[in-house]
Structure 1
Amino acid sequence: MVFVTFVSRDKKIFKGGLKISEDSKDGDGKKGWWSRQTLTAKILIGILILIVIIIIVAAASAMWFVMSITALNVTEMEPVSIYMDTFNINGTTEPGASVTINNQSVTPDSSGKFSYNLTNIEFGAENVTVVAKGTGKLTRTLIFELNRSVTSDGLYQTKTRFINETLY
């Protein structure tokens, strides 16, 4: 690597092409920081600023998206009879949101808690759809599969599993 040092006519000292110091008595010829940067440095600084702006916009968009989704949590889905043909579904949403379970309107209390008895569950697999819609927010839909059967020894049994969640 070669380093070059030279002094210009107006006594400015340059080393390796970068200005190290200036020996000017009258103060003229001084340039601002940006104008002293090379084109490559300006391009790199511009790219860095653009990346920072993109990250900030992406973070703000993600926060908006998360904050605009209606809260919905099914906390319990349990049978309430020995025949397992009726289930109590409990959950929470945000206050003021509307809730439907299998297209039946359910009214949450002032804190967003709700409860619903799903009756006449048939044998076999049946989907249970829980939908919550908050004011000015995305609708959240949770779908569960409820499978009611009889064991080989004549006992009733049910299995519940989460299937899907959608936002629209």
Structure 2
Amino acid sequence: MGGDAAPLPGGRAGSRPHRRGGQQRSRPQGRPDGHAVPEDWHEVIRTNLLGSFHTSRAALPYMLRQRWGRIVNVVSPSGLIATAGQTAYSASKAGVMGMTRALAAECGRRGVTVNALSPGFMITGMTDQLPESIVSDMARKAPVPRFVTVEEVARSVSLFLDQDCMTGQVISIDSGVSIM
């Protein structure tokens, strides 16, 4: 889900789910993230954290002016729990969570809620690149041993869109991965 900031017909801004996925590429396998190329770190931060910031920044004037809006950032269990080899990705997603909470505190009195959804593994372009043995191993290790469906994520986003008093929250829909 990409979050664009164009107003809806009639000039009214609506909800803006925002999802960006970017992971570092150049760190040698099995090496600590201190060996990552700084440009890769910058790209991950630019894609995940700054992308969420710019999307919110573009949509908020419309939402604040009409005193209603919903921002749903899509984050990752990697922002909640340590993921070896994913330091930049984890840091960027944790940053989006912090930004979500801060924006919620700033905008709630003006009718704008800001929340984040943390879906677990789904079959997507990012997971399609992984070997099947890793994918099946990841699903087996979760307390609910399966991947999250796109429909489950959509229903969770709908929950945020339907609530007037839910703001600043990060909800995990990750088959229990974030409790491990």
Bin the TM-score by the shorter chain. under 0.3
Of Structure 1 and Structure 2, which has the larger fraction of its residues in strand? Answer: 1
Larger-Rg structure: 1
Instruction: Name the structure, 1 or 2, with higher relative contact order (CA <8 Å, separation 6+).
Output: 2
Q: Which has the higher helix share?
A: 2
